[in-house]
Amino acid sequence: MKTVLEDLTPKQIVEQLDTYIIGQKKAKRSVAVALRNRTRRLKLPEEIREEIAPKNILMIGPTGVGKTEIARRLAKMCGAPFIKVEATKYTEVGYVGRDVESMVRDLMAVGYNMVREEMQEKMKAAAEQKVEEDLLDLLLPGSGKKHKNTSDENGKQEGGSVMLPFTVFGTSVSEIADAAGSQDKSGASSEGFSAHNSAQTSAAAGQGENAGLSASAAGDESAQHAEKEALSSTREKFRRMLREKKLEEREVEVSVKKRQKMPSMEIIAGGNMEDMESAMQSISSMFGGNRTKKRTVSIAEARQILLEDHLDRMTDPDKAADIAKERVEQMGIIFIDEIDKIAVQGNSHGADVSREGVQRDILPIVEGSSVNTKYGVVDTTHILFIAAGAFNLSKPSDLIPELQGRFPLRVELDSLNAEDFERILTEPKNALTRQYADLLETEQVHISFTDEAVKRMSALAADTNSRMENIGARRLHTIMETLLEDLSFSADEHAGETIEITGEYVDERLKDIVQNQDLSKYIL
């Protein structure tokens, strides 16, 4: 299985991470090496490949310093299935040990959807061609050779979901042609339909003149040939108009699959949700899960409906599941956040006992086990697990020894200071200042930030974090929202204006935060 990472060295991985994440060099190096080792393992002979376990990572650092973002960007970089789970969710009321396996099922679902989308993207061009033919059949029934004599008693296309009306909701073909022809400077569309009408007129006149020769096969064939050519010409004119988006607002009737409402029922605690879902789907299909209903939609909407229908029918679900299973097993990443919240502190008892139980339930998944999913049995041995936590009230050694041993790589992320905030506001590819500038640009409001403004915002964020709970870079969102709240609210009144955000502007808008020691109302 070839991966994107085969062409990326650890240095190049770090360089790509640098475009989105400021600082944290040590953490970036560790995850880059861990990820690269996965591709190295895949190149080894099978007998040794299976002996090499993934080097799971434990990230230690306060909130808002980039733990989740590093893992997420890594997964996106290499196209690996990725999910984030909160360890504390397994301590909630109603927790059942085997619910821990749900993280693997969720990862498999993500992997399947990724593969399915990739397969459909490759087939999109072929599907769009079929959609175009379906739309032409909707507008010009009987004009397509390959669709002739393929409709059932209900007028529905064989194997498809397209209804074939002779008029497009009260609008005749000629009327559509006239409307579209008026938009066409060349007048080609009108000519096409004139040819069609002329052919019909000629055929009718010919029939009148040769009433006595109605038995002549040559005359019938000539009329049929003329009409066939006219329909073919008209179909091509319509094809051009469809491609030029001249008929997007016209309404047509299509048949779509009905969405079956799942019957409500009490779910017994401890039940396997995967099995429950499969059972409900089976029941739904037994009671008419594939029924269709007619919808009146525009050509633009019909195009999307038909495209999805064709892509669904062209996609092989078994093949997609097989590819997804391999990708999940070899390249999948599960990010377990707040693992410090389930760490047992010392020899305490009570509620902490359940937390230790959660650790013991997570352990087999991390060690490597087989989990049943609706796409097949998934082996978790080589899935990369990245655990993270602040560990401000506990420490990594509070985790059970068995779980500690499954996270051999430990990296500590640094807290962010004012200088880091300055870089976060300006250096990343999608820096916060650029995001807000682009948002207001949609309202024709042009804003820019001076260096002094960036420094004042960074200093204020760092100071607020020191006086309140330290939420890292997330504090910048609070600062930016408060700073631009008035401007965002009245953006329509400033259309066409260019506004410079200066240090004085920052001081004026954020003076309440500076003066007020109770900052709770500003916390997002």
CA–CA dist 266, 275 (Å, integer): 15
Of how many residues is the chain composed? 524
pLDDT confidence bin for 93, thresholds 50/70/90: low
Distance CA 494, CA 303 (A): 38
Q: Residue 268: what pLDDT?
A: 39
Nearest to 60 by CA among 438, 398, 289, 457: 398
Least confident of 15-29, 36-50, 127-141, 311-325: 36-50
The confidence score (pLDDT) of residue 78 equals 83
CA distance 265 to 371: 26
Mean pLDDT, the chain, as a whole number? 78
d(CA 28, CA 210): 87
What pTM did the predictor assign?
Answer: 0.74
Res. 521: pLDDT tops 60: no
Residue 175, pLDDT above cutoff 90:
no
DSSP class of residue 246 equals: S
Alpha-carbon distance of 29 to 104, in angstroms, equals: 26
Beta strands in 172-221 (DSSP E): none
- pLDDT of 469 reads 80
Strand partners, 252: 297
> How confident is residue 437, by pLDDT bands cut at 50, 70 and 90?
very high
Q: What's 501's DSSP letter? A: E
Q: How much is the pLDDT for 170?
A: 45
Question: Other C-beta atoms within 10 Å of 406: how many?
Answer: 20
Cα separation, 286 vs 428, in Å, equals 53
The runs of H, that is alpha helices, within 25-139 are 25-42, 46-49, 67-78, 102-139
Lowest mean pLDDT among 104-113, 223-232, 284-293: 284-293
Q: What is the pLDDT of residues 21-66, one digit of tens each?
A: 888 888 898 888 888 888 888 888 888 887 887 789 999 998 888 8
pLDDT at 187: 43
pLDDT at 194: 40
Q: Answer with the residue of higher pLDDT: 469 or 424.
A: 424
Residue 83 DSSP symbol: E
For 461, the 3-state DSSP assignment is: helix
Query: What does the pLDDT average to over 437-466?
Result: 92
Q: How far apart are CA 450 and CA 510, in angstroms?
A: 16
Closest CA to 115 of 278, 325, 306: 325
Residue that is written with structure tokens 């779910």 in the block: 267
The one-character DSSP state at 454 is H
Please tell me which residue, 182 or 481, carries the higher pLDDT value.
481
- The two tokens of residue 432 are 């916060």
Going by pLDDT thresholds of 50, 70 and 90, the confidence category of residue 152 is very low
Q: What is the largest CA-CA distance in the chain?
A: 110
What confidence score (pLDDT) does residue 318 get?
94
pLDDT at 73 over 60: yes
Most confident of 86-95, 130-139, 191-200, 514-523: 130-139
Find how far residue 278's CA is from the centre of its chain. 24
Band of the pLDDT at 123, cuts 50, 70, 90?
very high
Q: Are 336 and 87 in contact (CB under 8 A)?
A: yes
- For residue 267, pLDDT over 90 is answered with no
> Is residue 165 pLDDT above 70, yes or no?
no
In this structure, which amino acid lies at residue 389? G
Phi/psi for 121 (5° steps) reads -65, -40
The confidence score (pLDDT) of residue 282 equals 54
DSSP string covering 250-314, please?
Answer: -EEEEEEEPPPPPPP-PPPTT--HHHHHHHHHHHHHHTTTT-EEEEEEEHHHHHHHHHHHHHHHH
Q: How far is CA 105 from CA 75, 315, 322, 371, in A?
A: 17, 21, 15, 8
The two structure tokens encoding residue 277: 């879902």
Q: What is the pLDDT of residue 52?
A: 83
Q: Given a cut of 90, is residue 517 above it in pLDDT?
A: no
Q: What is the enclosing helix (H) or strand (E) of 385?
A: strand 384-389
Query: Cα–Cα distance between 66 and 504 in angstroms, integer?
Result: 30
pLDDT value of residue 333: 93
In angstroms, the CA 229 to CA 143 distance is: 10
Cβ contact 254:156 at 8 Å? no
Is residue 166 over pLDDT 50?
no
Looking at the predicted structure, is the pLDDT value of residue 449 above 90?
yes
Token look-up 């004026």 returns 508
354 vs 184, more confident: 354
Mean of pLDDT values over 344-349:
58
Task: Using alpha carbons, list the distances in angstroms from residue 72 to 17, 277, 329, 333, 404.
Answer: 10, 28, 18, 9, 23
Domains of the chain: 4-114+320-412 (3.40.50.300), 418-511 (1.10.8.60)
Q: Give per-residue pLDDT as tens, 1-19.
A: 445 556 788 899 999 998 8
Highest mean pLDDT among 20-29, 276-285, 287-296: 20-29
